[in-house]
Amino acid sequence: MPFATPTDSLPSRPRRVLVAGTSASGKTTLARAIGERLSIPHIEIDALFHGPDWTPRETFVAEVEEFSSRPGWVTEWQYDAVRPMLADRADLLVWLDLPRALVMKQVLRRTWGRGMRRQELWNGNVEPPLWTVFTDRDHIIRWAWTSHHQNAERVQELHERRPELTIVRLPSHQASQSWLDGPVRDAATKAG
């Protein structure tokens, strides 16, 4: 069965929503918009994962376990330690499947902008200097490049494991907006 398109109606009003995509593709922005449209809380998973000095928080898995057991939420589908749990509890997966060139443009612009402003992200963390892309093999820019193809593989594996799960593929920001303005708006009026 193919994935749902930006114009396909949703079978019901989703209450537990995952947003998949490459780093800097716009997952958090889309997740926030979905939460607003469906009146469900957006839980920014990066804020739960990153402790001070970019160290993983010890309470991360327990906090994800707690919020994902609630009846309604939307979050980003990332972090191997919780990805299966979230996938098992979701009733909708939205795949922001942008071209690699666009993602790289976005990650460069975002990383540079945040770094120049010294913008605090989560728990006191700020982007490292841009030159660290050459010294840190896990730098967000390198990560976005090398992990881009993994999203398609993960989504396909999930589709095979949970064929009943609705998966919507959004190949552009325009498709995302059309989906929010159409099927999501329509689903928001359906009984929960």
- pLDDT one-digit tens code per residue, 153-186: 999 999 999 999 999 999 999 999 999 999 999 9
Angle at 163 between CA 158 and CA 165, to 5 degrees: 80
Helix axes 140-147, 100-117, angle to 10 degrees: 170
Contact status, residue 16 vs residue 92, Cβ threshold 8 Å: yes
* pTM score, whole prediction: 0.86
User: 22 near 98, Cβ under 8 Å?
Assistant: yes
CATH of 16-188, picked from 3.20.20.70, 3.30.70.270, 3.40.50.300, 3.40.50.2300, is 3.40.50.300
Domains of the chain, by residue range, sit at 16-188
**pLDDT digits 0-9 by tens, 136-151:** 777 677 777 777 788 8
| Rounded percentage of the chain residues whose pLDDT exceeds 70 | 93
- Residue 101: phi and psi, rounded to 5, are -60, -40
Question: Please, what is the average pLDDT of the chain?
Answer: 89
58-79 residue pLDDT tens: 999 999 999 999 999 999 999 9
In tens, the pLDDT along 103-138 reads: 878 777 877 776 667 767 777 777 776 777 677 777
148 contacts 103 by C-beta, under 8 angstroms: yes
